[in-house]
Every structure is written in structure tokens, then in C-alpha cells.
Amino acid sequence: MSVRVRYAPSPTGLQHIGGVRTALFNYFFARANKGKFILRIEDTDRERYSEESLQDLYDTLEWLGIQWDEGPQMGDYGPYVQSQRFDLYQKYAQSLLDEGKAYYCFCTAERLDAVREQQKISKSKNQGYDRHCRDMDPAEALKRKEAGDACVIRLKVPLDGKTTFHDEVMGDISRKNRDVSPDPVIVKSDGFPTYHLANVIDDHLMGITHIMRAQEWIPSGPLHVILYEAFGWTPPKYCHLPLVMGKDGSKLSKRHGATSLKDFRLGGYLPEAIINYISLLGWSFDDSREFFTKEDLEELFTLKKLNKSPAVFDYRKLEWFNGQYIRLKDPESLKELLLPILQKDGVISDPVTEDEMGIFNGAFPLVRERLKLTTQVSEMIRFLFKDIDSYNSDDAIPKKMEASQVPGILDSCASLLEGFEDRNDEENEKLFYDKSVELGIKMGQILQPLRVAVTGTKISPPLFESIRLLGVEKAEARIRALSEQISKETA
């Protein structure tokens, strides 16, 4: 049996970490088994559908470099968009009606509300639909429907027995049929199928062999198996993926930080880092290996190494991975990523000038060593391209020091720059160190105002290297300018 798996998102929001993990695991599983990865768009919920979400899905998969074997516009089992398959769902729902496994329900929203209200008051154990129309004479029901009475189609869930499905990760999961959702709607009054019906029919017709999806879907498992049985079909294998939590142990959400791939995409992350880090959310290769490229995972991924217990999403760890992958990137492609960011932030012109390119190339080796996010590049090297019009002098004043002391320190620094370029870093460092001893302050208390003067920020490439890149003359002018500004402010 050759593996056929699918990612079946509903375009009702931006792609997030959990969804993308599902997509990646299905994709890797297909590749590792020389099977097929299928993309199916589950767009039956027309109220929550959005064009923007669909575009975001395509953008995300493209950015990650995830190519599907079958999906919209390609494959022999299509269409792969549920809204284009409505006739099929009608046909299969009709077959359940014909066999007495489903029935028309004419209950109005008011009646259902009243039932719910009553159940609440009587604290009844039976919640939900009261199976009111289940035993209506089918001929009578058909007559009413044909006369134009609004109705839905409900599945007749058996009242006795239990339903069990085997999950490759969680083991056997059983539920008494009585406790499975009481006769859920499978076709809505507007003729649209619900998720359960469309999902089961499509998985069967598309020959899906394994269903890999988030654990949130476990409660739907028994119902789906009942549907498979009603149709006389064999269910695929199930494989529910562990939850993804924030560090505080609650389900990962916006409260913890960015969760949409769009935010990560625009926030300076590389797809290599995202793929690597996400692959560790609920999966492991062994106890030690952490680094995996997409190509590695296409070979190594196995269901056996999926975890039962929730995975914790660690933003710092992802950022660390990102820094590693920035340094692994070959220099030319990293430059191609950084230049547009500098242009977008107005640090360099578009097209970039020869002068700017020269400065950028000079700074590149230093930046490359320090970036955690590609987007940090602008802040890091803006000072090489742009004059500093005015300083945030608070940044320049070291802790436990009076602002009025700082101009004097800066002036000494300016004097020390004479001959700067003829000395190596060590010699320069010694000079600044001796100065700090002479002034009776710490080395850091000299370097902080100096750094802010030269670069305008507290974070920059190494200070002496920054001075060299900027040019000693410009550096000196900036030091004097900051000194004057603070003198004026404290006068």
C-alpha cells in the first residue's frame, strides 16, 4: 500500500505554527515513504472563508518550499477544493438517507434553543439535539421537504455499543456511541455539507492512507469512524499529533508571541530555521540530534518517533536556530536577503549605489556573525549610511553616572582617536583602558557613550571595527557632536 496523506486546511485564518506543523509532518511522511502529499482546501464554511487566508496558505507553502503532488489544479482525484465537490456530497448523503442511516430534521432554531434551555434547567445528562425527528416516517419527511420545509440532514448515530479507533500515537481510543455527538448535522439547510461529512468522503475517495492532524481533532475520531462504517468503508490509519503549548503550559496562542507564519516570515526568520524548529515539536530523531534540513527530514521522518506529550514552543530556541541558519547561508544569498531589508527601511537606495555596496560589503562579515533575525540588519548598520541628526542622550549615559560627566569622557575619547588606524585593536583597547583608570571609572563607562556617539545605538558590531568602517574622521565629529548635545542639555 503506498502512502497517501493530505493537509486539509480551512482558509479561515492565517497559517499558524500548529497548522504548518501538520503540513510539514504529512509532507515529510509522504516523502520518506515515496508516497503522495495532497493539498485539499476545506472551504465548506462559507461564513468564515476568506480569500486572504487562501493566499496566505499558498504564500506560506511556497516560502517553506513545500510542493504538493496533488492539489488544486493537479492530480487525478480532484477537484481538491471542497466547494467544487458539492454534488458528490449530495449523492453520498442521499445514499445514507436511502439506507435509513440518515434522516431529515425540520427542527427550527427556536425549537433547538428551547431544548437546550430545558436541558440546562433540568441539568440533564443528555446535552445537544434530542433526536426529535429521528423516527419520523421517511415518506412523510420527504413530502415535507418537497413542500419546501427547511431541513437539515442528520446522521443516525447508533444508540448502543461503542466505537473504537486505533491511533498510531495514542493507542486505542473508544467511546460509547451514546456519548458520541447526538445525530450531528451532515448537510446544512442550504445544502452545504458539514466538515465531518465532506472530510470523510474526501479522505475515502482520495485514497488517503493515514490521517495526521492535531490532537484537537481526536473527539471527532469516533464520529468519523461511524461515518466510514455507515458507508461501508474502511477508515484510514489515524495519527494525532501532540498539542503545542507555550512555556506556561497553556495552548500556544497570540498571548505567547507571534503564531502566524506571516509574522515569522516578515519578522526576519529563515524558512530553514522554521522547518528545523517545527520538526522538533512532537517529533525527535534520537535523544541528541537537533539539526535537520528539509532534505534530511524528507528521508528520516518516521511515525515511530512521534511523542504523546505536548510540545513546548520556545521562542528563544527558534531565534537561536535562526541565527545558526543565517551563518550557514552562503554569503551571496544572505546578501540578497539583507539588501531588500535595508532598502525597505530606507537605509540604502534602490537601486543600491556602488558606494553603498562598498560600505555594505565591508560591514557584511561582522553583521553575519551577529544577526539573529535578518530584520536586525538595518538597526545594526544604519550608522554607516546615515548621519545621526540627534541622539537619544539617555542611551549614552552609563548607569550610576551623572550626565554632566559624560561630555568630558567623550572629549577624551575624541583625543584618543588620533592615530587610531595605525594601532591594532589590542593597542587601542589598552589606550582606552588606561584612560578609564586615569579617570577612575570602568572601561564600560567609557565604551557606552563612545558606542552611542559613533553608531547612534547601544547595539552595533564591535566598536573598534565600527569606528574603522565609519572612518576615524566621521567618528570623531560624531563624538564631539554628542558631547556638545549633552553639554547643552545639562547646562
Catalytically annotated residues: 254
Q: Which three cell numbers stand for residue 385?
A: 549610511
334 touching ligand GLU, by CB under 6 A:
no
Q: Which stretch in 2-10, 263-271, 275-283, 434-442 sits in contact with ligand GLU by CB under 6 A?
A: 2-10
Instruction: Give the β-pairing of 311-312 and 185-187.
Output: unpaired
Q: Summarize as ranges the residues that interact with Zn ion (CB under 5 A).
A: 105, 107, 132-133
Say how many C-beta atoms besides its own lie within 10 A of residue 327's C-beta.
12
Residue 5, interface with ligand GLU (CB under 6 A)? no
Point out which residues pair with 163 in neighbouring strands.
175
In the complex with ligand GLU, which residue's Cβ is closer, 42 or 356? 42
- H helices of 99-137, where? 109-121
Amino acid at 347: V
Contact segment (CB under 6 A) with ligand GLU among 7-15, 126-134, 311-319, 425-433 equals 7-15
Contacts with 452 (C-beta within 8 Å, 6 or more apart), sequence order: 391, 392, 395, 396, 458, 482
Per CB under 6 A, contacts with ligand GLU among 111-170 are: none
DSSP one-letter string for 355-423: HHHHHHHHHHHHHHHH-SSGGGHHHHHHHHHS---S--HHHHS-TT--GGGHHHHHHHHHHHTTTGGGS
Contacts of ligand GLU in 176-215 (CB under 6 A): 199, 213
Residues 215-274 that bind ligand GLU (CB under 6 A): 217
> Residue 213: which of ligand GLU, Zn ion, none does it interact with, CB under 5 to 8 A by kind?
ligand GLU
Of Zn ion, ligand GLU, none, which one sits near residue 481, judging by CB under 5 to 8 A according to partner kind? none
Query: How near is the Cβ of 217 to ligand GLU at its closest, in Å?
Result: 5
C-beta closer to ligand GLU: residue 77 or 285 = 77
Please tell me the total number of residues recorded for the chain in this structure: 491
Residue type at position 306: L
Which among ligand GLU, Zn ion, none contacts residue 217 (Cβ within 5 to 8 A by kind)? ligand GLU
The closest of 198, 195, 181 to 131, measured between CA atoms, is 181
Burial of 139: CB neighbours in 10 Å, binned 0-12, 13-18, 19+: exposed
Q: Taking CB within 5 to 8 Å according to partner kind, which of ligand GLU, Zn ion, none is near residue 199?
A: ligand GLU
Work out how close the CB of 449 gets to ligand GLU at its nearest, in angstroms, rounded to a whole number: 54
Contact between 10 and ligand GLU (CB under 6 A)?
yes
| Contact residue for ligand GLU among 39, 42, 102, 482 (CB under 6 A) | 42
The residue ranges that bind ligand GLU (CB under 6 A) are 8-10, 42, 199, 213, 217
